[in-house]
Amino acid sequence: MSELVFQIVVAGVKSLIIIFALLTGFAYMTLFERKVAARIQIRYGPNRVGPFGLLQPLADGIKLFFKESPTPRGADRFVYLAAPCISATVALAAFAVIPIGPPIEIGGRQIGMYLSDASIGILYVLAVGSLGVYGITLAGWASNNKYSLLGGVRASAQMISYELSLGLSVLAVILVVGSPNMTKIVEFQGVVPLLLLQPLGFLLYLISGIAETNRAHFDLPEAESELVAGYHTEYSGMRFALFFMAEYINMITVSAIATTLYLGGYKGPIADGPWWFLLKVLALLFVYVWVRATLPRMRYDRLMNFGWRVLLPVSLLNVFLTAIGVLIIEGRV
């Protein structure tokens, strides 16, 4: 087998594995959230479908598959149908450059546990991640519903506000490591995780990541008490499921990026491996659920004020202090 054919086959297999893992993770993340939130709120959670409720995601999928999906009168049909596909596709694409484990050897060839080892990996993630808001905004506009349109506009404003803080928190990591390559960032943390060097950056990233994925208590594009269901008010069945899937996959991706940038990725105290990566991602997903189950939704004007007047100045200060620290260490100051 020629090298080119081998690389194409490997890339195809990796893509299928990543898609399968993310879709499975999405399904059981819904169960994980409902179980954890139930325990926090002193409830049982799903426990009827299958042992310990483990088949609940399957039951939910079957219900959504057979649910009617009408198109609202006056909607832009093409954009209305394309919007959930855009959100789901972007969510899956963002995971392509995240290394989940050390390289493995198969048939005398070394295979990296990532789809692509892009030299600008983290910049790719930021670029692709920012496209997700197009699906939400287009859905709100195409639905011919004023509540949906308000949800889409809110999503755009929220993305612009918190994308700045998220990008600046990542910039501080690039300054420390000297490269936006995700694999090099993990290798840099062989001894000391960047969480110890960038605790403020980690906190800023986590807050901005929750806001970017429109999760409570930053879920203002949905805000059922104000906008019925916001941008997905007019969606049901599998069309709604695609938005639902994009949200949960984005949660997994944000947690995976935080693990890679700040928690050492797949590196652990005993032996490096993908199990460390998985445990760290699960811990961050627990934080997602914990926040949702305990904090109330913010008022919209306070959300914007917090993004522009608190997070952005603090992010700029973190980048400034990081740059000064790097210059001192390198002996340039």
Residue ranges per structural domain of the chain: 64-329
Is residue 269 pLDDT above 90, yes or no?
no
Quickly state the pLDDT bin for 332 (edges 50, 70, 90): low
Query: What's the pLDDT tens digit per position in 209-218?
Result: 888 888 777 8
Residue 105's H or E segment, with its range, is strand 101-106
* Residue 274 CB-half CA count within 13 A: 10
Angstrom distance (rounded) from CA 269 to CA 101: 14
Helix axes 199-212, 146-177, angle to 10 degrees: 160
Dihedral angle, C-alpha 291, 312, 202, 200, nearest 10 °: -110
Query: What's the pLDDT tens digit per position in 53-92?
Result: 888 888 888 888 888 878 888 788 888 888 888 888 888 8
CA–CA distances in Å: residue 115 to residues 7, 110, 111, 134, 272: 11, 13, 10, 24, 19
Spatial CA neighbour of 245 closest among 37, 16, 19: 19
19 φ, ψ (degrees, to nearest 5) = -65, -45
3-class state of residue 327 by DSSP: helix
Contact 223, 151 (CB under 8 A): yes
pLDDT of residue 1: 56
305 φ, ψ (degrees, to nearest 5) = -60, -40
CA–CA distances in Å: residue 89 to residues 82, 96, 103: 10, 12, 27
How far from the centroid of its chain's Cα atoms is residue 60's Cα? 22
Is residue 2 pLDDT above 80, yes or no?
no
